[in-house]
Amino acid sequence: MLYLASDHAGFTLKTAIIAALKKNDVPHDDLGCYSEISCDYSDFAHKLADQVQKSGAMGIAICGSGIGMSMALNRHAEIRAALCHEENSVELSRKHNDANVLVLAGRKTTLEQALSFLKIFSETQFEGGRHLARVKKIKIT
């Protein structure tokens, strides 16, 4: 299962990603928002964080710049949200940081880029080892 959430500025990209997921029979759940009407990214970031925490699944979050979603998501224990703008960062976020939420900038990321990033994110495994000790030091205090 893949969970997706966006604010109004990420709605169009999220909708396009969902269409591609449906076409490829990828199980997913859209947690909102459901239109381009202005809304607060944090409401949807918290919904996404709750589902990822409960299920252990991965998530995708999209807002205009990706910054707001990243900040809100990373306030949650066990959420490691990575705002990525290019493929190498996506890969390293999984390999070295065990990221479980990919954050995209809806106003800067094309659908082609987003689908490439999602493929890399979902197929790349955490390397563990020396990285595991570092990830374990990430705490919400």
- The full set of domains in the chain, from first to last, is 2-136 (3.40.1400.10)
Strand partners, 62: 6, 104
Contact 57, 1 (CB under 8 A): yes
Confidence of residue 3 (pLDDT cuts 50, 70, 90): very high
pLDDT for 139 equals: 79
At 4, is the pLDDT very low, low, confident or very high (cuts 50, 70, 90)? very high
Beta strand segments in 12-57, E: 28-30
pLDDT tens figures, 19-43? 999 999 999 999 999 999 999 999 9
135 pLDDT more than 80 = yes
The answer to whether 47 and 110 are in contact (CB under 8 A) is no
Chain CA centroid to CA 23, Å: 20
Instruction: For 49-94, write each residue's pLDDT tens digit.
Output: 999 999 999 999 999 999 999 999 999 999 999 999 999 999 999 9
CA-nearest of 76, 12, 140 to 4 is 12
Global confidence as pTM: 0.97
Position 141 scores a pLDDT of 61
User: Which residues are CB-neighbours of 131 under 8 A, at least 6 positions away?
Assistant: 95, 96, 97, 98
Catalytic: 131? no
- Whether the predicted pLDDT of 46 surpasses 70: yes
DSSP-assigned beta bridge partners for residue 4: 30, 60
pLDDT for 20: 98
Instruction: Decide the pairing of beta strands 2-6 and 58-63.
Output: parallel
Which residue in the list 28, 46, 96, 131 is annotated as catalytic?
A: 96
